[in-house]
Amino acid sequence: MLSRFGLRTRILGAIALFLVPLGYVTWSLLALQLDEIRLAEDERVGNRYLTAIADVHGALADRVRNWDYGLPSEADLAAAAVQLRQAEGAFGTSYGTAAEAGHAAGLLDALATAKRLDRGKAQSAIDSLAKLRQMVLDRSGLILDPRLDTYHMMDLAGQVLPAMADSIRTLGNRGRRFSAANAGDESRTELMVAGGAFDFTRRRLDNTLERVLENVGHPEVHARVEQARSQLLPAIDRLSDAIRRTALGDPVGSFALKDLEVAAATALTAFNAKAGADLDTLLAGRIDANRTKSLSVLLIAAVSFILAAAAIYALLSHSVFRPLDRMTRALTRLAEGDVAVEVDTADGGEVGRMAVALRTLRASLEERQRLEAERAATRDGIERTEARRQTLTEDFDRTSGAVIGAVSAAAADLHRAAQQVCQEIGLAGERSASVVEAANRAAAAVETARQTSQDLDSASATIAEHADTEARFSERAVAAAERVEAAIERLGGIAGSIDQVVTAIAAIASQTNLLALNATIEAARAGAAGAGFAVVASEVKELARQTSQATDEVGAQIKAVQRAVGEATGLTRDLGATIRDLYTSSLTIQQETARQIALAARIVEAMGAVETGASSVTRDIVDVQSAVAATESLVGKLTATADTLDAEFTRLRQRTETFLNGVRTADAA
């Protein structure tokens, strides 16, 4: 998820910026503690080497002292040489003291096999051991820091106690010389100077012991130092008091001085061994303390890292993970079509901009759903309109076919009736001619004339019936034509309404195209985050283009329907006018038929009165001939009108079929 949103690098950078300094500080503290541990271990190695040198020096001093007094010594210089070589091998490999240690060990081996004291070699061995001790002090990395509890103990073991041992040896030599010279002034002066140097070293030892006791916090070391002090200082004081009394003329004797010197040297050697052990204990305690500090630093660092990780996680959870989780749920709901999801844009940075883009996407989806709903509503309206138009077309087809068929049948009946009237009129003319020719024989032909009059009355009644029928059909044809005209006008109105709907759809498609273009621009501004939105916008734009094309095609078809409806309206109006003319002609025929019936009645009356006079018959026959001629003319007109009506209805049928075929073709398109 983080790679997808481009946040991995920034989050890792923030973690690095926060944790790297903390790690550096932790590593620095650990390195410092490790350095202190390493230095303490080096000091411990150096202290052990110095302790071994002090043991060897004590053995050599004991051997020399016993030689001076002519007494046997328990000190094994050969063992001391072996001990020195072992200490060099164990502790001195990094100090560069191998040559000096080898030289001192060689001198010790030589002194160990000597039958008598070789003072030159003994002094060389003592000087070599002092040089070796100084080399170890210089190269062992001992930390002379007064803030450390090992400082004064290190000063005691490395400087003060060796100096005290030298002072004891020097003071003993001066005391032995003074006794041997029988208290000469020069020897006395040397003894007093040696005593002064001894007292100075003693005060230095006492001061160092005080500082050791004040600064050493280790209870066991403190107790051992206190105990060793109580044993060493009295022995040193007794030796110092004996030397002072000897220098002032109250000698204590050589053997008594020897015992005091041996006692002081033995106490010093024991204290030196304890001091080395105590210093080793303090150094071990310092190492353990540094290790404890290192563990504390590691623990604090671990807790700090955990707290930092928790803080970073809480920060990322609050500022990144939770907003991304909300955006993921919002995207899921949007993908499922739920545009009612709330998008929080209060967060800043990239997440806030992503939320703004998500809100824009939601608005686009809402607009798309609205457009789809409008498109569905428009499609339903078009389908309903098409169904209505199909229904109206079928109704119009059935109605117009029935009307046209009925009118055509009426016109055919009218034509046949007109032919029959013509036949009857021809017959009446022939009979009228016969009556004129037989006027002089009127009396003889009264019965024939009466029969003829009855036939004429029957024909007139038949003509009257046909005239009434033609009038009724004509009246129905006029009403049907008016209904057809009204239906076609409604069809034109429906076509206009469809055209308005198509115009509205075209406007919506144009607006959708503009919205899709704006969405494409916004997606381009959003960069990689808006790539998916750009695809959606292009699809919406393509749908708008297809909708516009479809509305253009539907508009063209509607225009064609409107033109066909206009033509059908004109044709229907022409048909109505023709049917009205036919109706007028039918009324005229009816009137003429009524006249013919009246004439037939007069003929009957004339035939009734034929007996009154031939002249009246002649005049009546003349009138009959005139009426027959008029009736023949009207019947001719009626026949022509019937033919015209039949032709017009034939043409109306053809145009109606053409109109309906055009509408069906438009629907199919």
Question: Model-level pTM?
Answer: 0.40
Q: Determine the pLDDT at residue 446.
A: 59
Phi and psi torsions of 118, nearest 5°: -105, 95
* Residue from 418, 430, 448, 419 nearest 624 by CA: 430
pLDDT tens for 115-147 read: 777 778 888 888 898 888 888 877 766 555 566
pLDDT of 357 over the 70 cut = yes
**Residue length of the chain:** 669
Quick one: average pLDDT of 20-34? 72
Quick one: average pLDDT of 568-573? 70
Which of 52-56, 231-235, 460-464 has the weakest average pLDDT?
Answer: 460-464
Quick one: average pLDDT of 490-494? 70
pLDDT tens for 504-535 read: 666 776 777 777 677 677 667 776 666 666 67
Burial 311-337 (b: 16+ CB within 10 A, else e): eeeeebeeebbebbebbeebbeebeee
Q: 10 Å Cβ neighbour count for 58?
A: 20
Are the CB atoms for 327 and 299 separated by under 8 Å?
no
pLDDT tens for 543-557 read: 767 777 777 776 777
Give the single-character DSSP code of 359.
H
- Give the torsion sign (CA, 649, 655, 661, 664): negative
Reduced to 3 states (helix: H, G, I; strand: E, B; else coil), residue 150 is coil
Q: 10 Å Cβ neighbour count for 530?
A: 21
Helices (H), 317-348: 322-335
pLDDT tens for 59-97 read: 777 777 666 655 555 567 888 888 888 888 888 887 788
pLDDT of 207 over the 80 cut = yes
Phi and psi torsions of 504, nearest 5°: -65, -40
Q: Determine the pLDDT at residue 511.
A: 74
Q: In the chain, which residues fall in CATH 1.10.287.950?
A: 352-668
Quick one: average pLDDT of 220-246? 81
Quick one: average pLDDT of 284-293? 74
Q: How far apart are CA 477 and CA 581, in angstroms?
A: 11
Q: Determine the pLDDT at residue 572.
A: 67
Q: Determine the pLDDT at residue 29.
A: 72
Q: Determine the pLDDT at residue 493.
A: 75
Calculate the average pLDDT of the chain: 72
The CATH T-level fold of domain 352-668 is: Helix Hairpins (1.10.287)
* Residue from 233, 263, 269, 39 nearest 157 by CA: 269
Q: How far apart are CA 219 and CA 146, in angstroms?
A: 19
Reduced to 3 states (helix: H, G, I; strand: E, B; else coil), residue 117 is coil
Higher pLDDT, 203 or 22: 203
pLDDT of 289 over the 80 cut = no
